[in-house]
Structure 1
Amino acid sequence: MSKPILLLVDGSSYLYRAFHAMPDLRGPEGQPTGAVRGMVAMLKKLQADIGAEHAVCVFDAPGKTFRDDWYPEYKAQRAPMPPELRAQIEPIHEVVKLLGWPVLMVPGVEADDVIGTLCCVGASAGHKVIVSTGDKDLSQLVNADVELINTMSNERLDEAGVLAKFGVPPDRIIDYLTLMGDTVDNVPGVVGVGPKTAAKWIAEYGSLDGVIAAADGIKGKAGENLRAALDWLPMGRKLVTVKLDCELAAHVPGWPALEDLAFRQPDKAALGEFYARNGFKAWLQELTGEAPAPKPKAAPGASPGLFDEPEPPAGAADVARQYVTVLSFEQLDAWLARLRAAPLCALDTETDSLDPMAARIVGISFADKPGEAAYIPLQHSGPDAPAQLPLDEVLARLKPWLEDASALKIGQNLKYDRHVFANHGIALAGVAHDTLLQSYVLEAHKTHNLEALAERHLGRKGLSYEDLCGKGAHQIPFAQVDVAKATTYSGEDSEMCLHLHEVLWPQLQADDGLLRIYRDIEMPTAELLARIERTGVLIDAGRLQQQSHEIGQRLVQLEQQCYDIAGQPFNIGSPKQIGDILFSKLGLPVIKKTATGAPSTDEEVLTELAADFPLPAKILEYRGLAKLKSTYTDKLPQQINATTGRVHTNYAQAVAVTGRLSSNEPNLQNIPIRTAEGRRVREAFVAPPGCRIVSADYSQIELRIMAHISEDPGLLKAFQEGQDVHRATASEVFGIPLAEVSSEQRRYAKTINFGLIYGMGAFGLASALGIEQKAAKDYIERYFTRFAGVKRYMDETKAGAAERGYVSTLFGRRIYLPEIRGGNGPRRAGAERQAINAPMQGTAADLIKLAMLAVQAELDRTGKQSRIVMQVHDELVFEVPEAELDWMRTEVPRLMAGVAELKVPLLAEVGVGGNWEEAH
């Protein structure tokens, strides 16, 4: 007979983890609720998973504990609790009790010690004890009767698990922690001793006492540090040892019996009031058993419940599912007939690689209605794999339907599947919808993977890839997955996609702006991006290798220069050693500290110090060149496709909330161009013989959009008359004629123009210009006096965003700002800055996509051989036969300028060169 379970929850650990894991959610009255929501979700799941009869949630009581008496500096460096979390402590205690959990807080005793005592008493009383925590210190409690679980990582630690994770058994965790110390609790250990050294010493000498006894024989710096800490170690051991005999009789009736720690029935009436008070609508409906009330139709511009949990349609999760495995041509032909007859079909490919250019098909699934799907296994291997239809013949039979533009298809991220089919000589056509892009247009601020979408909109939870293939080093290829499980997994992917479409598509149809973004911009852009990715861009590997060699030589020189300034060698890649040199040896001022209390050496700090001291400037130069070398000059040649001789990036559409594309594997958008070395990387992006590289980009696009949206007369006039807008701004701000504006004044005006677009305040402008904050404030005030329309736009935009919860581009794209209504001060201020910039950045993203589509349509219509090879921010990069250069110089700017009619002219500029850098 199995032992009864006593479940102990480290409530203090839980509430911090819930707070940091959740966004800054707010209740109906604006109160913070993120940590409360996270805490409730974690406890409900934990109770369902463990099924314990007895449990207790243990929180730290306010005030000092006995450890503070032992060591007054205990936890002295810990940052104060964020006010938004402090405000949620009482509601968390309240709801935990309402859910039926016993709660313990013992004055003068930490939660860890209460848990340790309960572990001993529970195990002695015949319970299996499970402790739910993320605190490594509690690993010392693990034994044959006590186990730890971490709900965040799904990790369970028994005795073998502790040994595997930390390198020491549970009964040596105290020794291990004593040697390392605990920076969070401000408990010193042996300087420089981390997990590996601590575990190594304990394994070698048996225990902390053994390490202490051998201290005189341990060589090197570690031995010196150990000997220096010998007087401290007994106190350190005392501080990290969890107390196992706390007096709990005053807090647990009947102690030491545990009957008072049995789960109670939830107080449904009070719990319902709590859920309503905090805006937890889904849980309230779950509690009362009521069907979700229909949401009121939103008034124009309004969005009630914008950040509430979505409520899946009633019965959405109850779809009956029937997935078949196609193993005969008769079955294949029957499904082909169904596909041809259906108005819309979903499809999904299972492959042997995530690289779109290399992936080969392992299997294909289809669905013609929610709940019904077919999976065709084609390349599954293993002893239990059934006989499968031949890949080439199946694809030959499917090809006419796959290439039929009138046979409408839907999928999740079908851009990837386009590449996969192209790898097999099939040009996928008839793509009518993509649920990834539907979700992105409707709710760009949320996650868009199929599993998350199904759970959010359908209340359905399917198999995950990890469920089938495992994780990490133990993950198996999809071809080795059991065919029956593969049928369920892939069948779900297709039919859930079709099911999602039934929910998402009506929402898009109900809003003309969102429908336009989806139908006229995102869907055709996805098809074009597949073409651009497949074309790739030609790279001169030899030129990059030469640059790598030169950068390597420069890094060696910089390294020696850093050593000379420091007066000694040090590891330039080590923040700790840099900190020791800068702040301990050279005595430079500490600008800010890390979470552990150490002086920070991040880029912001080094940049500030570099203005006055030579070593930080050299370190920054070293870091920049080292990153350039590792990310581009070394890596790009390795990413050249062996078949095409080109680099093929992936353009992710559903990442940036503003609509901008995101380039990855490799990232071609982040090549640094402010340094000569960074610009030289672009020299390696070349054209083949007989062709040239052409770059076309919008000039000052976001400022032009600002002029259009704000309708400021000064900005409108500058652009309409073709003036240098920065010179015109300087003329207004400094009150001087255009002809008298100096280059320095123009630079100031340019920084102001672009800074205000990004919501920059006086502090940011002062830092950017290197001037006093008062002078920066005066410049901003003068700017807003001269350009009152810009100030009015900013004020109205922030107010409108706070009311609606989002801002819109000129074309109707919505950029949601979850923290503009109720975030804390810095987060709300950040959301307000984003509200000012997002309409311009989002409109610019829409414009470049429309330009890309217009130019490609004209290239196709006129039969030109020029090809788009890259899209980078506001720029299109082409590979152009020399015979088409004149056409490109005249037609591309015309096409790009004509995609929208603004109150100021759109201007696109074209450059030509043998490589990308020359084209600028």
Structure 2
Amino acid sequence: MTDKKTLLLVDGSSYLYRAFHAMPDLRAVPGDPKSPATGAIRGMINMMTALRREVRADYAACIFDAPGKTFRDDWYPEYKANRSPMPDDLRSQIDPIHEVVKLLGWPVLSVPDVEADDVIGTLARVASAQGVEVIVSSGDKDLSQLVDEHITIIDTMNGKKRDVAGVTAEFGVPPNLMIDYQTLVGDSVDNVPGVPKVGPKTAAKWLLEYGSLDALIERAAEVKGAAGENLRQALGQLPLSRRLVTIRTDCDLDGHVTGLPSLDGLPVGAPQTAELKPFYEKFGFKSLVKALEAQAVPPELIEESLKKKAGSTAAGTDQGGLFDEPSDMQALEAASPASNLKYDTITTWEQLDGWLAKLEAAELAAIDTETTSLDEMVAQIVGISFSVTPGEAAYIPLTHNYPDAPEQLPIDEVLAKLKPWLENGAKKKLGQHIKYDRHVFANHGIEVQGYAHDTMLQSYVLEVHKPHGLSSLAERHLGRSGISYEDLCGKGAHQIPFSQVDIAKAAEYSCEDSDQTLDVHNTLWPRLQADEKLSFIYQLEMDSSEALYRVERNGVMIDSPTLAAQSHELGKRIMELEQEAYEIAGQPFNLGSPKQIGEIFFTKLGLPVVKKTPSGAPSTDEEVLEKLAEDYPLPAKILEHRSLSKLKGTYTDKLGQLANPRTGRVHTHYAQAVAVTGRLSSNDPNLQNIPIRTPEGRRVREAFVAPAGSVIASADYSQIELRIMAHISGDESLLRAFTEGIDVHRATAAEVFGSTPDQVSSEQRRYAKVINFGLIYGMSSFGLAKNLGIENKAAASYIERYFARYPGVKAYMDETKALAKEQGYVETVFGRRLYLPEINSPNGPRRGGAERAAINAPMQGTAADLIKLSMVKVQNVLDEEKRGTRMIMQVHDELVFEVPEAEIEWVRTEIPRLMAGVASLKVPLLAEIGVGPNWDKAH
């Protein structure tokens, strides 16, 4: 036990800017751009609530900059002169932010004429002098100069901790030299001049060599080179720069913090629930209102708790303050319908039989597995939990193996007893990310049937633009928080496997997961049932999950010798490119070093500067290399070197090593709940990003093969997004082109260039193809000009002529943007909602991006829906007819199969027919298929 106290100081000014830029353009009335902006307010609530949960403190304050000038402006009128004015949408949220932070129980400070950093510095030093530990929560590196053995800076946004060791490691100098360091480097944001062209490395080197800025100034004549000359020229202004960057720790806060220097003026209060509710209602925070109602606690109980807390503090028995764990106040804050939980740990056959009876009788049961790995193909079960009634759950520990672990029921016998229920499709089951749990059970020989719901997919359909993890869902929809995996197992190198977690803690964690999953389902499912279109999309996602489970389980054969040969060839070509680059440059250099490339390009070879980096140096990024490669050989060599190196490192070297030892196949993981358009993402390995625009990239597909007696078949939709555009826009010319089977790019070229289709040149058709696909993605005349290598005026003329010939497309684009602005989302043909949080943003680039997405998302999303419908339909037919053909990959608009030779003709005929028949659009769907010994030859 210790009497050591802690003061938590929050850099409110840093927090509010982060909240503003991190959150989407939320409004009190969604979709109404004239409604008050609320994103920064909501972000601030989230950040302050999380910080209160995570950091213990006895005293606390949230400090904001006061409006108007400060004493530094008197010293240096140009101070912060380069800063952009605060955005109006953020300015309007300042007062509500101050208000809600107070309502959340935080003392709020804003001292006229004094910057927030100086208030923080003064309070930190006062507390430190009294032996109080100080934690400053901020992302501002300038505060590092305050750090000592009693003062620590934390950045909760990225987990960074700046104690004495942390500051030294990050900046190369200890905290007591940070003022000198900042003086030398300067601060472009605050317009504080440093020594010209002296960066962090040089500043740290000088200070470590000379010991301090004063010593460096005394011996400035000894410093050699251009940097030394710049130092000597800057000597006159360094005292002012040091004065400007130094955080004051002796500010007069009288009248703003009562009771200093005892810190009694910074008590931590309870959240003012009664006042928070109307505040949340005013700004449209419905989920926060719901959470408050769920957590309602009688005011007299809160007051009693605070009195009890104050009494224990006065008596010297308090061990930490209102942020402690556990504490009366925290218990009150967490109070909810989940307070009366009944969680069982099953360690006897009698208990298991009792729960099996509950499962058999339940209309719906939630299941959760605890495992040995995140890799679903190798994960083994450590324990299983169930819930059939909100607030009740049970955990069966099976393979916990830490010292002195209690005896557990034998896993094989438990699974054998559960198997009939698990494999009974009539017994409805629920989970969070059910595809993973299906694999885990399959690893133990159990094919679970009867999964009726997945809360992750429910969230994905209802609110695609929000997080879909269980903890986020529980907090957002139930106002419930819980134990995190890191709480149990730790982080990083010190993380322990779940099998070593204490069974009592593991039971609480796993039961909580099953219980919350059932609770979330009971909240989300009625919302889906109430909307016919969303119900259809949810069922499609559930059916897709089943098909994807099969695809992942099947895996694909990889020809490792072919990959090894390709790697060898790529390695030789990469070495040749290096030598060719050296010859052109006239010297060896690191082809991966932007600095060395810049020196070769611009100093030695005198290549033109295309653009500059924020620091003013000539840029050598990918865009610059591509531009220079049009006229110069060296940039082209470097681009080819990078492309081949990435191909070799990502695919040809690694794919063969990723084969599962048990199956001998590569099993990618398809993430369903990631892309807002409904598309799938593939990882470990990523099969969707294999480059196919180069011969070397296409050759990688040669290594995807079928076993003896089988072939690979690849089926995909033809011009699917253009067909969807024709359907959605209803444009007569586009509809006619597809209905009559005309080459749509040739038809477009004829319209744009004013000729007949038979007169269209190959170049004109290429232009038309770029225009057709470019406009789907909202391409501007500038983008089209860049893509085609023509003048901007000519590109604008092409677009104008295109819209004149296809007025339905132009009308669709205008109407879609207007609808998106009005309701905040667009829809696919089948009703999937694609939310656009930035569609009414005052930020031009963000709004423009959202407008382009509004045009394209319905087409991408509808294409994603179609390929999922095809995947489900084809898998069902394969099962019904007991075919030997197996679906092994889904890549964008393509389905890939492993086909026994005896079924090749069936596949050639039936797969395209099935895919073309999954929906009736205003234009016919066309699916094409190819067959070959490997994936490449199947195209």
TM-score normalised by L of structure 1: 0.88
> Could you tell me how far apart the structure 1 residues matched to 2:20 and 2:605 are?
39
Question: How do residues 132-171 of structure 1 correspond to structure 2 at under 5 angstroms?
Answer: 132-153=137-158, 157-159=162-164, 162=167, 169-171=174-176
Aligned-pair CA distance for 1:668: 0.4
Structure 1 equivalent of residue 242 of structure 2 = 238
**What is the RMSD computed on CA atoms of the aligned residues?**
3.6
Aligned-pair CA distance for 1:385: 1.1
Q: 2:354 aligns with which of 319, 334, 357?
A: 334
Which stretch has the larger CA shift, 199-208 or 609-618?
A: 199-208
Give deviations 1:712-732, integer Å, cap 9, x for gaps.
111111111111111111111
Question: Are positions 1:406 and 2:387 aligned together?
Answer: no
Aligned-pair CA distance for 1:648: 0.6
Structure 2 equivalent of residue 59 of structure 1 = 65
Q: 2:110 aligns with which of 104, 109, 116?
A: 104
Letter in 1 for 2:531: D
Question: How do residues 559-638 of structure 1 correspond to structure 2 at under 5 angstroms?
Answer: 559-638=578-657
Structure 1 equivalent of residue 743 of structure 2 = 724
Give deviations 1:328-356, integer Å, cap 9, x for gaps.
22222221121111111111111111111
> Could you tell me how far apart the structure 2 residues matched to 1:164 and 1:662 are?
37
Letter in 1 for 2:110: L
Question: How do residues 128-527 of structure 1 correspond to structure 2 at under 5 angstroms?
Answer: 128-153=133-158, 157-159=162-164, 162=167, 169-174=174-179, 177=182, 188=194, 227=228, 231=232, 238=242, 242-244=246-248, 248=252, 252=256, 262=266, 278-280=283-285, 317-318=337-338, 320-519=340-539, 521-527=540-546
Question: Are positions 1:22 and 2:23 aligned together?
Answer: yes
Note closer, same or farther for the CA distance 1:866–1:5 as it changes in structure 2 (3 Å cut).
closer
Contact preservation (8 Å) 1:148, 1:157: yes
Which stretch has the larger CA shift, 848-857 or 27-36?
A: 27-36
Note closer, same or farther for the CA distance 1:351–1:735 as it changes in structure 2 (3 Å cut).
same
Contact preservation (8 Å) 2:60, 2:268: no
> Could you tell me how far apart the structure 2 residues matched to 1:419 and 1:897 are?
31
> Could you tell me how far apart the structure 2 residues matched to 1:376 and 1:911 are?
49
Note closer, same or farther for the CA distance 1:6–1:894 as it changes in structure 2 (3 Å cut).
closer
| Secondary structure in structure 2 of the residue aligned to 1:916 | coil
Question: Are positions 1:743 and 2:749 aligned together?
Answer: no
Note closer, same or farther for the CA distance 1:889–1:259 as it changes in structure 2 (3 Å cut).
closer
> Could you tell me how far apart the structure 2 residues matched to 1:288 and 1:518 are?
29
> Could you tell me how far apart the structure 1 residues matched to 2:814 and 2:682 are?
34
| Secondary structure in structure 1 of the residue aligned to 2:897 | strand
Contact preservation (8 Å) 1:137, 1:240: no
Contact preservation (8 Å) 1:58, 1:103: yes
> Could you tell me how far apart the structure 1 residues matched to 2:602 and 2:95 are?
42
Question: Are positions 1:538 and 2:557 aligned together?
Answer: yes
Give deviations 1:608-647, integer Å, cap 9, x for gaps.
3333444333332222222111111112122122222211
Q: 1:899 aligns with which of 905, 913, 918?
A: 918
| Secondary structure in structure 1 of the residue aligned to 2:712 | strand
Note closer, same or farther for the CA distance 1:176–1:702 as it changes in structure 2 (3 Å cut).
same
Letter in 1 for 2:340: A
> Could you tell me how far apart the structure 2 residues matched to 1:723 and 1:273 are?
61
Letter in 2 for 1:148: I
Question: Are positions 1:39 and 2:44 aligned together?
Answer: yes
Question: Are positions 1:755 and 2:774 aligned together?
Answer: yes
Which stretch has the larger CA shift, 238-247 or 536-545?
A: 238-247
| Secondary structure in structure 1 of the residue aligned to 2:888 | strand
| Secondary structure in structure 2 of the residue aligned to 1:534 | helix
Question: How do residues 649-668 of structure 1 correspond to structure 2 at under 5 angstroms?
Answer: 649-668=668-687
Give deviations 1:440-474, integer Å, cap 9, x for gaps.
11111111111111111111111111111111111
TM-score normalised by L of structure 2: 0.86
Give deviations 1:58-98, integer Å, cap 9, x for gaps.
427555864896796x7677666556445545654666678
Letter in 2 for 1:881: P
> Could you tell me how far apart the structure 2 residues matched to 1:585 and 1:110 are?
47
> Could you tell me how far apart the structure 2 residues matched to 1:286 and 1:534 are?
40
Aligned-pair CA distance for 1:383: 1.4
> Could you tell me how far apart the structure 2 residues matched to 1:505 and 1:536 are?
33
Which stretch has the larger CA shift, 907-916 or 546-555?
A: 546-555
Give deviations 1:631-687, integer Å, cap 9, x for gaps.
111121221222222111001111111111111111101111111111111111111
> Could you tell me how far apart the structure 1 residues matched to 2:596 and 2:66 are?
36
Q: 5+ residue gaps in structure 1?
A: 293-313
Structure 2 equivalent of residue 299 of structure 1 = none
Q: 1:867 aligns with which of 866, 886, 891?
A: 886
Structure 2 equivalent of residue 308 of structure 1 = none
Aligned-pair CA distance for 1:560: 3.1
**Percent sequence identity over aligned pairs:** 62
Contact preservation (8 Å) 2:134, 2:152: yes
Contact preservation (8 Å) 1:57, 1:104: yes
Note closer, same or farther for the CA distance 1:96–1:147 as it changes in structure 2 (3 Å cut).
same
Note closer, same or farther for the CA distance 1:194–1:666 as it changes in structure 2 (3 Å cut).
farther
Q: 5+ residue gaps in structure 2?
A: 298-333
Give deviations 1:475-522, integer Å, cap 9, x for gaps.
100010010010011111112111111111111111111111112x11
Aligned-pair CA distance for 1:273: 7.8
Aligned-pair CA distance for 1:17: 1.9
Aligned-pair CA distance for 1:206: 6.0
Structure 2 equivalent of residue 310 of structure 1 = none
Question: Are positions 1:799 and 2:818 aligned together?
Answer: yes
Which stretch has the larger CA shift, 24-33 or 499-508?
A: 24-33
Note closer, same or farther for the CA distance 1:874–1:459 as it changes in structure 2 (3 Å cut).
same
Which stretch has the larger CA shift, 331-340 or 33-42?
A: 33-42
| Secondary structure in structure 1 of the residue aligned to 2:154 | strand
Contact preservation (8 Å) 2:368, 2:385: yes
Which stretch has the larger CA shift, 257-266 or 621-630?
A: 257-266
Note closer, same or farther for the CA distance 1:353–1:213 as it changes in structure 2 (3 Å cut).
farther
> Could you tell me how far apart the structure 2 residues matched to 1:247 and 1:784 are?
65
Letter in 2 for 1:354: L
Note closer, same or farther for the CA distance 1:625–1:209 as it changes in structure 2 (3 Å cut).
farther
Question: Are positions 1:908 and 2:927 aligned together?
Answer: yes
Give deviations 1:858-890, integer Å, cap 9, x for gaps.
222222211111111111111111221111111
Aligned-pair CA distance for 1:753: 0.9
Aligned-pair CA distance for 1:895: 0.9
